[in-house]
Structure 1
Amino acid sequence: MTGDPAAPPLPPATFFGQPRGLAYLAFTEAWERFSYYGMTALLTLYMIGQLLLPGHVEHIAGFAAFRGAVERLTGPLSNQALASQVFGLYSGFVYFTPVLGGWLADRFIGRRAAIVSGALLMSGGHVAMAFDRSFLLALLLLIVGCGLLKGNISAQVGELYRRDDEAGRTRGFAIFSMAVNFGAVAGPVACGFLADRYGWHVGFGAAAVLMLCGLLTYLAGIRHLPGDRQPSRAAAPAAPLTRAEWRRVAALTAVMGITIFQSIAYYQISNVGLVWIEGNVDLALAGFRVPVPWFSAVDPFFSIVGVPALFALWRRQAAHRGEPGDLAKIGIGAAIAAASNLVLAVAALVGGRVGLIWPLAYCAGLGIAFLYYWPTLLALVAGAAPKRLVSTLMGCAFLSLFVGNTVIGWIGGYYERMGHAAFWAMHAAIAATGAVLILLFGRRLGHVLSSR
């Protein structure tokens, strides 16, 4: 389970045809995603509906200085625009810090220590989120903890497979994402229900408990996971990368850059997407009002149920030598994300409060788009990155989400200024740009990444 081509055969597969360690990693991340998506499904609505209102906002430690710093860059912001900026900065930096967490693990503390430390910090962050005063501290703890955990746990998934097992690794990451999405479905449903019935802080508190469950799951399965390699320190420098390895690093960086476009179109669902749903959708269903945070569970649900169907499709295509390569799958994901955002653009043109089918179709399409592009990107990094840079480059993959989420916070500030149809059509065009770039450069990038 070292990821080395010369390693002994893997132990018998026991989890959906995959190594046993995949189950523990998948469900550790499932609990982490439960807490993360449960919290983020509440975050923008909580800020607009309570935290930024008089009687609350003045109690947040350091918030006046923070708001002043943001508005020096953006100009005066409404509560909706400020909430969008805060969401974008938070969700962006959650995906920036994994590159630092990967570097620390590769060079100093090892992946296991990084993952355990990250889980503890995230638990503390969720506890702090239950109080107005510690709001900014909570976001900081969550950002740092996620940085230590996310990239390193994904790197451990890649190490369960031989480096020449591209098909197995891609399917392993798809299964990993499917299990993770169980958490992403349950988090918004559970935390959204608790917040709706018992108050925002009860919803945030539930996320803390479930993050601790993730830590216990990881510790329970640690004997089935790849061991830490001796970290490479400055006192014992490794041999320099070869020219071919540098070319692969450059090609992986280019692919990560391309995926930023579909990430912008995808992650807006958790920010302005929920604001649009609250203001423009008839939420009544058989006498029950559907909580808005529940819509954050729809796209990961379709990422779960879509896995068996996509596996069957890919097997059928492979049998006829027509299965798309990894880069083509990333391009298909971008095209589906574009079509999904067009659904909301059309719904906005319909006008009035539209039926539930419109946001459901939007969320479902994004779930399938995610399944095509994100686990495929992680598998590509795990398989093509130079061995000693796997954790660092896995962190860089999450860095692309930092850029995407930071941009959605900025773009979200235009929601009140633009027509709603134009706002969502803009997101469709952004995602389509990613598909076009794969069409233009995918073959050349694929040639570089397949060379060894």
Structure 2
Amino acid sequence: MNGTPLNQPRDIMGHPRGLAFIVFTEAWERFSYYGMQALLVLYMAGYLLEPENANRVMGFGAFRTGLEAVFGPLGTQALATQIFGLYGGLIYFTPVIGGWLGDRWLGQQRAVLIGAALMALGHFLMALEAAFLFALLSLIFGAGLLKGNLAAQVGRLYARDDQRRDTAYSLYNMAINVGAFVAPLVCGTLGELYGWHYGFGAAGIGMLVGIVIYLKGRHYLPPDGKRIDRGDRPKLQKGDGTTIAAILALFVVAAMYWSAQFQVWNTYPLWIKERVSRSVFGLEMPVTWFSSLDSLAVLALAPLVILYWRHQRARQAERGDLIKIMQGCFIFGLAYVWLAAGEWLSDGGMVGLMWPVLFHFICAIGFLYVGPVMMALVSRTAPEAVNAMMISAYYLSLFVGGFMSGWLGRFYEPLSPAGFWLLHAAVAGAGALIVLLGYGAFRRMLRLG
């Protein structure tokens, strides 16, 4: 069934009816995920990890001992960012395993439903302080089962040569950003202003809505495909090993980018809370709203960036993917230089609101030049025999990036805020430098001509 169009009774806007159910399921899943993520570091650093509260968390003493055996002594803030880094990284590691389980054992539909149920359970367990570690594990394994298997069903709605596939994935990614934009406004506001558990509960309800939508549209979705016989799989060809090595090297660049990007969700909210004047017309803006601003910037700038690329293409001046990735890493580094400049010019006072607001729009341009472009480059250049595997392996760069953001978070207190942001500018800039120095070799190894 994989690769063949589905016999749908009615299309919606020229697309199979099942796409709408997948898109809305993903929007609610991202609502739940980003709603919880917007609160997590603030919740840990500002409440849960205080000594009098941490003692109530089951297994936390042994867990902290294990972390400090690896990373050294950790204060409350460093411990919070390290836990977030591990959580954020594992969220993008487990889909590699979840996709394999969906393909080989559970089937994609069953994997999505089990994953969604685990995520809903995790959100509701967050309301119980004692169950905090079990909540994180439930969310990690749930996301691993849901993420890759839901995305894979988008492609299976279409024949391999169906040009609507690109538009379908664009709509799917739009749902991700819409959910990520709305979630901090709802869950973040509830958690930050009215009580942490209200925010986590709202995230859990959002996941339940996603489950209902998925179940309603399940009969419009592609049935789980059969296992592909080993003899039918394409084989690696001569020279494919060189291409794979180049892609793995680019994953190092991606990991550097994501190390800087993850800090926007990790230590950055703590900086916003401590260092930024958030007063607007006499009202104080919640910290979590800045997470919404990050997604809003992507939604606002994506059409403009696409139009700019189209204009370049018409003039035969569009840059190749490697150049775009290099530019994106450099722009992301400049975003952190901008934050450092805000600290310098504040002269010890509170940083003005314009600095973080414009920071998110600079970050959005960097993301649009790196994230989707890197995925497209891997999809186009990876050998057919391992194409899907290499695309899945890309998420390992997010795993490393999340892990590194937690490790880098320990330097927030020893360094000045400006120095901390310049450190991240250097990390992103190093990614740009690797592409610049290896540009010719990358082109040859990826057979870009």
CA distance in 2, matches of 1:97, 1:212: 21
Q: Assess if the C-alpha contact under 8 Å between 2:84 and 2:266 holds in 1.
A: yes
CA distance in 2, matches of 1:330, 1:340: 15
Q: Assess if the C-alpha contact under 8 Å between 1:260 and 1:400 holds in 2.
A: yes
CA distance in 2, matches of 1:429, 1:212: 41
CA distance in 2, matches of 1:379, 1:221: 29
Per the alignment, residue 193 of structure 2 pairs with 197
Is residue 270 from structure 1 mapped to residue 278 from structure 2 by the alignment?
no
What's the offset of the Cα at 1:196? Answer: 2.6
CA distance in 1, matches of 2:2, 2:443: 25
Give the secondary structure class of the aligned counterpart of 2:129: coil
CA distance in 2, matches of 1:396, 1:409: 21
Per the alignment, residue 117 of structure 2 pairs with 120
CA distance in 2, matches of 1:332, 1:319: 20
Q: TM-score, normalised by structure 1?
A: 0.89
Per the alignment, residue 361 of structure 1 pairs with 358
Q: What is the identity, as a one-letter code, of the residue corresponding to 1:306?
A: L
What's the offset of the Cα at 1:19? Answer: 6.1
Give the secondary structure class of the aligned counterpart of 2:367: helix
Per the alignment, residue 286 of structure 1 pairs with 281
> Which residues in structure 2 correspond to 1:141-290 (within 5 Å)?
141-159=138-156, 172-232=168-228, 238=233, 240-290=235-285
Per the alignment, residue 140 of structure 1 pairs with 137
From 37, 42, 48, the equivalent of 1:40 is 37
Per the alignment, residue 50 of structure 2 pairs with 53
From 299, 306, 325, the equivalent of 2:301 is 306
Deviations 1:332-365 (A, max 9, x none): 3212211111111111212310111111111222
Deviates more, 1:54-63 or 1:327-336: 327-336
Instruction: Give the 3 Å change call, closer, same or farther, for CA 74–369 of structure 1 in structure 2.
Output: same
> Which residues in structure 2 correspond to 1:313-392 (within 5 Å)?
313-350=308-345, 351-386=348-383, 389-392=386-389
CA distance in 2, matches of 1:11, 1:212: 27
Per the alignment, residue 59 of structure 2 pairs with 62
Give the secondary structure class of the aligned counterpart of 2:263: helix
Per the alignment, residue 420 of structure 1 pairs with 417
Q: What is the identity, as a one-letter code, of the residue corresponding to 2:258?
A: S
What's the offset of the Cα at 1:163? Answer: 5.7
What's the offset of the Cα at 1:368? Answer: 2.6
Give me the identity figure in percent: 44
Give the secondary structure class of the aligned counterpart of 1:411: helix
Per the alignment, residue 100 of structure 1 pairs with 97
Instruction: Give the 3 Å change call, closer, same or farther, for CA 213–10 of structure 1 in structure 2.
Output: closer
Q: Assess if the C-alpha contact under 8 Å between 1:106 and 1:232 holds in 2.
A: no
Q: Assess if the C-alpha contact under 8 Å between 1:99 and 1:394 holds in 2.
A: no
Give the secondary structure class of the aligned counterpart of 2:264: helix
Instruction: Give the 3 Å change call, closer, same or farther, for CA 144–392 of structure 1 in structure 2.
Output: farther
Q: Assess if the C-alpha contact under 8 Å between 2:236 and 2:385 holds in 1.
A: no
Q: TM-score, normalised by structure 2?
A: 0.90
CA distance in 1, matches of 2:212, 2:387: 25
CA distance in 2, matches of 1:245, 1:103: 23
Instruction: Give the 3 Å change call, closer, same or farther, for CA 379–62 of structure 1 in structure 2.
Output: same
CA distance in 2, matches of 1:316, 1:407: 37
Instruction: Give the 3 Å change call, closer, same or farther, for CA 367–175 of structure 1 in structure 2.
Output: farther
Q: Assess if the C-alpha contact under 8 Å between 1:130 and 1:201 holds in 2.
A: yes
From 289, 292, 302, the equivalent of 1:297 is 292
Q: How many correspondences in the alignment?
A: 447
User: Which residues of structure 2 form unaligned runs of 5+?
Assistant: none
Instruction: Give the 3 Å change call, closer, same or farther, for CA 332–222 of structure 1 in structure 2.
Output: farther
What's the offset of the Cα at 1:52? Answer: 1.2
What's the offset of the Cα at 1:76? Answer: 1.8
Instruction: Give the 3 Å change call, closer, same or farther, for CA 64–195 of structure 1 in structure 2.
Output: same
Deviates more, 1:250-259 or 1:275-284: 250-259
What's the offset of the Cα at 1:448? Answer: 4.9
Instruction: Give the 3 Å change call, closer, same or farther, for CA 8–62 of structure 1 in structure 2.
Output: closer
From 66, 75, 84, the equivalent of 1:87 is 84
User: Which residues of structure 1 form unaligned runs of 5+?
Assistant: none
CA distance in 2, matches of 1:313, 1:341: 24
What's the offset of the Cα at 1:312? Answer: 1.5
CA distance in 2, matches of 1:161, 1:385: 21
Deviates more, 1:302-311 or 1:374-383: 374-383
Per the alignment, residue 23 of structure 2 pairs with 26
Give the secondary structure class of the aligned counterpart of 2:127: coil
Q: Assess if the C-alpha contact under 8 Å between 1:384 and 1:449 holds in 2.
A: yes
What's the offset of the Cα at 1:198? Answer: 2.1
Deviations 1:283-339 (A, max 9, x none): 111121101011111111111112221222122122122233333332332122111
CA distance in 2, matches of 1:18, 1:250: 37
Deviations 1:123-159 (A, max 9, x none): 1111111110100000001111111122233334455
Q: What is the identity, as a one-letter code, of the residue corresponding to 2:85?
A: G
Deviates more, 1:173-182 or 1:301-310: 173-182
CA distance in 1, matches of 2:390, 2:9: 27
Deviates more, 1:387-396 or 1:37-46: 387-396
From 49, 73, 77, the equivalent of 2:74 is 77
Q: What is the identity, as a one-letter code, of the residue corresponding to 2:296?
A: F
